[in-house]
């Protein structure tokens, strides 16, 4: 499992995101730029131990009201070929040195592990503690067939990033997650799988909501 290092990042993750988020179609913050705070999320383990994978939730207080954003990130020790468009930035890690930080929706290692999480073959890990499962992350999958691992990001909308597999299965990463009204996220009608998690509102309230939704391809 991934080891969480207690060290420095220059620039920090929030500093990288403050510069990057306004370029995204799903960002709805104020004109003065994001005012971000870490609010929640989880990690996934790369089986090869080479790529850091984090699904971070941040809150932004720059708009008319606080907004939450789901920002999946990967951390690599070298550039990812063909992913220049998905580069969030670079940072200097106090232990590991230079790290290339990518939008994980465009990183095949992260996408494969997200598919494994939905199917139940991977376990969500706590953001800040090594070797500790995150029990607040809930996944479900209703079909028998394996979840495809070879998704490609095909569309960014004002609410989500859509990824498509060759068989027509679609995975939506919900970039602007909403709290479930009763605290218990329910699957979307017609969805075959999902991931739900928890985050903290600016007033300290802990909420839960859907983070990712899977729709398998219709049977031929």
Residue 130 has what pLDDT?
79
Of the CA atoms within 13 Å of residue 160, those in its CB half-sphere come to: 16
| 66 within domain boundaries | yes
pTM of the model: 0.93
Is residue 24 domain-resident?
Answer: yes
pLDDT of residue 3: 61
The pLDDT, as a whole number, for residue 157 is: 96
List, for the chain, all residue ranges whose pLDDT scores fall below the cut of 70.
Answer: 1-6, 218-220
Q: Does residue 121 fall inside a structural domain?
A: yes
8 Å CB contact between 61 and 84: no
Beta strands in 127-178 (DSSP E): 138-141, 152-156, 160-164, 170-174
* pLDDT at res. 135: 94
Residues contacting residue 204 through CB under 8 Å, at least 6 positions apart: none
Question: Could you tell me the residue range of the domain that residue 115 belongs to?
Answer: 9-215
3 is a domain residue: no
**Number of folded domains in the chain?**
1
């Amino acid at each position: 499992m991934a080891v969480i290092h207690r060290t420095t990042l220059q620039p920090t993750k929030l500093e990288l995101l403050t510069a990057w988020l306004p370029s995204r179609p799903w960002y709805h913050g104020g004109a003065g730029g994001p005012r971000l705070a870490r609010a929640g999320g989880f990690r996934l383990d790369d089986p090869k131990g080479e790529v850091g994978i984090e699904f971070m939730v941040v809150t932004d207080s720059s708009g008319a009201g606080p907004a939450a954003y789901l920002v999946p990130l990967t951390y690599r020790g070298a550039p990812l070929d063909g992913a220049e468009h998905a580069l969030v930035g670079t940072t200097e890690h106090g232990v590991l040195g230079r790290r290339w930080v990518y939008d994980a929706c465009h990183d095949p290692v992260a996408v494969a592990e997200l598919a494994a999480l939905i199917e139940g073959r991977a376990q969500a890990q706590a953001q800040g503690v090594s070797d500790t499962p995150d029990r607040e992350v809930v996944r479900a999958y209703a079909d028998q067939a394996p979840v495809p691992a070879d998704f490609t990001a095909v569309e960014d909308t004002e609410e989500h990033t859509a990824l498509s597999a060759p068989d027509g299965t679609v995975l939506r990463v919900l970039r602007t997650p909403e709290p479930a009204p009763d605290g218990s996220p329910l699957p979307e009608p017609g969805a075959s799988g999902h991931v739900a998690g928890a985050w903290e509102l600016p007033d300290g309230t802990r909420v839960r909501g859907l983070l990712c939704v899977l729709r398998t391809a219709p049977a031929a």
